[in-house]
Amino acid sequence: MDIAALITWVITALGGFYMLGTWIQRGGIRQQQSGTSRLPAPVIFGHFALAAIGLVVWIIYVIADKGALAWTSFGLLLPVALLGFVMLARWIPVYRDRATAGAPAAAAAPATDAAVPAERHFPLGVVLAHGLFAVVTLVLVLLTALGVGGS
């Protein structure tokens, strides 16, 4: 189960890297001053940093098989999940605005790229897959820490 958690964690991280790269490339950091982006940089980078640290601890756990490391990884995943839910809640209205932006009324006044939140460019499939794999990872890490399925 520990290897399955590692695989799902890496897949989750790949989706997260893609979204982080998209957010940075589309001006998310610059949009912090104007308030255009609904995702605060400290939340994004805190989510990223804690997830990366947790993944490193998990890799060490897989190698060393020390239960304390499994629990440490799980403990790191809890705030990662909380920050992820915060970002999801703030992203949903941006996604909904994107869906209504194609309406004829919106076509009359096109938004400039600076007025479009960087996170509007996240593909729905990547957001959903990232969240799904994150939940599976959290469950697998918890089950492994509990000793379910052996290690």
Nearest to 17 by CA among 129, 137, 140: 129
Question: Cβ distance 122 to 131 under 8 Å?
Answer: no
Q: Where are the domains of the chain?
A: 2-101+120-146
Q: What is the pLDDT of residue 114?
A: 63
Record the tokens describing residue 6, joined without a space: 């590692």
State the Rg of the chain over Cα. 18
Q: What is the pLDDT of residue 106?
A: 46
Stated length of the chain: 151
DSSP symbol at 149: T
| Contacts of 142 by beta carbon, 8 Å cutoff, 6+ apart | 74
Instruction: Kindly give the confidence (pLDDT) of every residue in the chain, 151 residues in length, as a single tens digit, with 9 standing for 90 and above.
Output: 999 999 999 999 999 999 999 999 999 999 988 889 999 999 999 999 999 999 999 999 999 999 999 999 999 999 999 999 999 999 999 999 876 765 554 444 455 566 799 999 999 999 999 999 999 999 999 999 999 976 4
Distance between CA 142 and CA 94 in Å, rounded? 32
Q: What is the pLDDT of residue 79?
A: 98
Q: What is the pLDDT of residue 105?
A: 45
